[in-house]
Structure 1
Amino acid sequence: MSDERISRITFGMAAFPDMLREIKDPPYQLFYIGDIDILKRPCAAVVGSRRTTQYGRSTAAAIGSRLAEKGVTVVSGMAAGIDTCAHMGALKGGGATAAVLGCGADVCYPRENLWLKEKIEEKGLIISEYPPGTRPERYYFPRRNRIISGLSSVTVVVQAGNSSGALITAELAAEQGRDVYSVPGNIDSRYNLGSNKLIKEGAIPVISPEDVLEPFGLNGMLSEEAERILGTTEKIIYRLLVDYGELTVDQICAKLGKPPAYVNAVVAVMEMKGVVFSALGKIFVANR
């Protein structure tokens, strides 16, 4: 690989994303620029059409920002339209975003998104199964979509016409056993035909950015006492424990992308504050 910024991981390596191991047709290798560890956090795909309305663009940015604010990695494809707005929202929210490309990680497509690619390389992750230097081809993108959905616990379709590639991503997510969300839109607009149809077929409707936090256990309000005494990371752990009931330290590490020493220290402080307790030395359950 001529570009020294690009790293490579294969299916057999520990750094290979666990979520991708679960899908039917995982890539054998991944090439990336940036921080691969952001894929150890909870991930949500936010996708949609290239041709959009202001409603779609603002909604994608709001959802991306809200997810990022809560520590969820926003995964998308860096295409024009909804993808771009989702990435921008995540960056504005101060969180992490991953762009899965249908070309080499060193190739920018579309070219006008070079500025965005550079920002994501600096603050997130550019990733592709295609070797460096691979030029974009039409048939690469449907293949790429299985990685977008495969990395993510949920896929959110913000705005999609009847022929949008985002519908392929939603179909793949459903086949992978992942939840599919869709934002309802004006029934008279061709821009919303595909995303509205997804809801008719069983996708979970999104009527607020808060809705996409629900599968991660991040939309619930903390108790007044917990809100007052917990720090940012402690609040994230607290919400995870409220949602799951109990988690091992290793599971918390995987969800936060943090090492055991760090998580153990944070949980120890939370125990001293009386908001969690340990059982069998490894399981931490939030006092609700």
Structure 2
Amino acid sequence: MMILKCNEEFYPEKFRELEEAAEGPSDRLCPNSFRMPKRIYCEGDLSLLEGPVIAVAGSRKASAYGMKVAAGLGKRAAAYGVTVISGMAQGIDSAAQQGALDAGGRVIAVFGCGIDVCYPRENRKLMDRIASEGLLISEYPPGTQPRRFFFPQRNRLISALSDAVVIVEAAVESGALMTAYYALDQGKRLYAVPGNITSRTSMGTNKLIQDSVQPVVSLDTPFEDLPVRKACYSEEKISGLGEDEQLVFRVLRDRGELMSDQISLLTGLSPMRVSQVITLLEMKGIAANYMGRTMLMDVNQ
């Protein structure tokens, strides 16, 4: 475990910028919203604080639709070389973080308790994986148990460390909307996923869109304005692929994400062979498949 004080070199600069943010809705709803943590407790890879970071937040009681979108955003972030930050809560948070990790991506979790306290308990495996492959952060000392009012404070740190915030699902009274308010007050890019107008968990996000927050119309939307890296492969690595693998690779590189039948049409390979090649590319960490669409991964992670 590392302890970083606010006057030390490796303390996140984005936390220092908190006190420069303009007062807004988040400060009125949650006092001390712009308070810079005097110290933070960390475990994992501090280098993840560098480069583009996207926050994904939403309902703990998410719908199947919300879970798919969150996981898809996590996988897409991995493909773009963008770190996913969230609170490791059940539902949207953990779906996005799990999706990123499964695709070889990078993840930061910010706790509303000590970093040695797993909350919720059901996420122990995810917590251990983030500790070994990503980064855990808390402003609370080890051993601190979660309290209700710690979570809004935690959300301000999630927004502060991000370059963009995506609210996937949120009821009107959802705590995830606090993250949205922080994003607005801190000058972050804010996105909301449109949802079923009869679903309680989409009422908050639909209201954000009504209030002119940018809607997520595809999994690429939140990454379009970020300084992301596209997948880049050396000719040596490409030449090490089989003939059919190279064929599929070049189509994906030139056309972007595609359905299997589109790949078959463009390459002339049979659907069965395309499926086999995609599996091989996934095993080599070159491609990822989500909801039937295949895309190249970022090899610069």
Q: Give the TM-score band, short-chain normalised.
A: 0.7 to 0.9
**Corresponding residue pairs, total:** 223
Answering whether residue 175 of structure 2 is matched by residue 165 of structure 1, we say: yes
RMSD value, Cα: 1.9
Answering whether residue 136 of structure 2 is matched by residue 126 of structure 1, we say: yes
Q: Which residue of 1 aligns with 2:42?
A: 32
TM alignment of 1:265-280, pairs within 5 A: none
Match of 2:13 among 8, 11, 18: 18
Answering whether residue 53 of structure 2 is matched by residue 46 of structure 1, we say: no
Q: 1:3-46: per-residue Cα shift (whole Å, max 9, x none)?
A: xxx11101111211122221122211110111111011211100
Task: Please tell me the residue identity of whatever aligns with 2:214.
Answer: I
- Give the deviation of 1:217 after TM superposition: 3.9
Q: Distance in 2 between matches of 1:115 and 1:19?
A: 29
Larger Rg: 2
Q: Distance in 1 between matches of 2:170 and 2:236?
A: 40
Q: Which residue of 1 aligns with 2:159?
A: 149
Q: Distance in 2 between matches of 1:10 and 1:229?
A: 45
Q: 1:113-164: per-residue Cα shift (whole Å, max 9, x none)?
A: 1111001001101110000000000010001110000000111001111111
Q: Which residue of 1 aligns with 2:78?
A: 68
- Give the deviation of 1:82 after TM superposition: 0.2
Counterpart contact for 2:55–2:85, Cα < 8 Å = yes
Secondary structure, aligned partner of 1:163:
coil
Q: Distance in 1 between matches of 2:234 and 2:146?
A: 50
Secondary structure, aligned partner of 1:216:
coil
More displaced, 45-54 or 207-216? 207-216
Q: 1:160-203: per-residue Cα shift (whole Å, max 9, x none)?
A: 11111110000011000111100000111111000111111121
Answering whether residue 78 of structure 2 is matched by residue 83 of structure 1, we say: no
Q: 1:198 to 1:231 in 2, by over 3 A?
A: farther
Q: Which residue of 2 aligns with 1:249?
A: none
Counterpart contact for 2:85–2:107, Cα < 8 Å = yes
Q: Distance in 2 between matches of 1:231 and 1:103?
A: 44
Task: Please tell me the residue identity of whatever aligns with 2:177.
Answer: L
Q: Which residue of 2 aligns with 1:272?
A: none
Calculate percent identity across the aligned residue pairs.
46
Task: Tell me the TM-score normalised to structure 1 length.
Answer: 0.74
Q: 1:168 to 1:230 in 2, by over 3 A?
A: farther
Q: Distance in 1 between matches of 2:53 and 2:163?
A: 6
Q: Which residue of 1 aligns with 2:220?
A: 210
Q: Distance in 1 between matches of 2:120 and 2:225?
A: 32
Q: Distance in 1 between matches of 2:89 and 2:234?
A: 41
Secondary structure, aligned partner of 1:115:
helix
Q: Distance in 1 between matches of 2:161 and 2:115?
A: 17
- Give the deviation of 1:231 after TM superposition: 8.5
Counterpart contact for 1:79–1:109, Cα < 8 Å = yes
Counterpart contact for 1:60–1:82, Cα < 8 Å = yes
Q: Distance in 2 between matches of 1:15 and 1:230?
A: 37
TM alignment of 1:180-191, pairs within 5 A: 180-191=190-201
Counterpart contact for 2:81–2:228, Cα < 8 Å = no
Answering whether residue 68 of structure 2 is matched by residue 58 of structure 1, we say: yes
Gaps of 5+ in 2: 20-34, 239-301
Q: Distance in 1 between matches of 2:17 and 2:224?
A: 22
Secondary structure, aligned partner of 1:44:
strand
Answering whether residue 119 of structure 2 is matched by residue 109 of structure 1, we say: yes
Q: Distance in 2 between matches of 1:231 and 1:38?
A: 26
Counterpart contact for 2:82–2:228, Cα < 8 Å = no
Counterpart contact for 1:64–1:90, Cα < 8 Å = yes
Counterpart contact for 2:42–2:136, Cα < 8 Å = yes
Counterpart contact for 1:67–1:212, Cα < 8 Å = no
Q: Distance in 2 between matches of 1:58 and 1:230?
A: 35
